[in-house]
Amino acid sequence: MTKPTEAEFDQYRDTYSEEINHSLAFSGQSHDFFTQVKADYLTQLFADKKWFNGDIKALDVGCGHGLIHPYLLSENANQLQLSGVDVAASVIDVARENNKEVNYLSYDGVSLPYKDNTFDCAFAICVMHHVPPRQWVDFLQEMKRVLKKDGLLVIFEHNPLNPVTQKIVKNCPLDKDAVLIPSKTMKGLMRQAGLQNIKTQFILFTPFARALFRKLDKKLRWLPLGAQYYTLATNSKE
């Protein structure tokens, strides 16, 4: 597996949110809104007794500035022990400064700096489209390696079937080399990586924060037209 070029990510150390917000401007929402939505979905998973019972040790792979971490900790403060890794060492420095409760490490983009069977949950939020396609299965297998026997793996990604998503990605300089992953392809990759109990939910059908639209979002999770999706799986059979 080839090591990513850290400079590609480090160059946005101080302008990341600005670049993302510029690409999202036509939606009427900031990056913060979309971050909160994904934090809500993760919080729902953390609260599901099907997956977790008690304290949760979770790893955010490709965590960047850790912008989602304050939301996750505020909603799951007494339950969640959170760690984050990223290839951009200077960005990790910013995350560490802003989120004292989180354990951050930089890594080489190949091997996660943790032992086997360490985490109850490992997740990556809009990271895999930056990974070269030939390395996608390796990326998932490395996440699987650090999961406990019944651990949960969650991947959030952009949905290439959504035209608004295509527009946002096209206009975002951070995504200039992105290769979007269809949800069906993601399921196939997870099967190749040896994961089990694979399931996809589509999200962000509208860019509106009101409770009515968030409820609608959840009712439409089966429809493959949301702006993003998340696919979850376990590393063992139920």
Residue 120, pLDDT > 50, answer yes
CATH superfamily of 6-234: Vaccinia Virus protein VP39 (3.40.50.150)
CB 183 within 8 A of CB 129: no
Strand partners, 41: none
Taking only the tens place, the pLDDT of each residue in 125-158 is 999 999 999 999 999 999 999 999 989 999 999 9
pLDDT of residue 25: 44
Domain boundaries, the chain: 6-234
The predicted model scores a pTM of: 0.87
Taking only the tens place, the pLDDT of each residue in 168-221 is 888 777 778 889 999 999 999 999 999 999 999 999 988 777 788 788 888 888
CA-CA distance, 50 to 33, in Å (whole number)?
A: 28
The continuous run of DSSP H or E covering 96 comes out as: helix 89-98
CA-CA distance, 183 to 114, in Å (whole number)?
A: 28
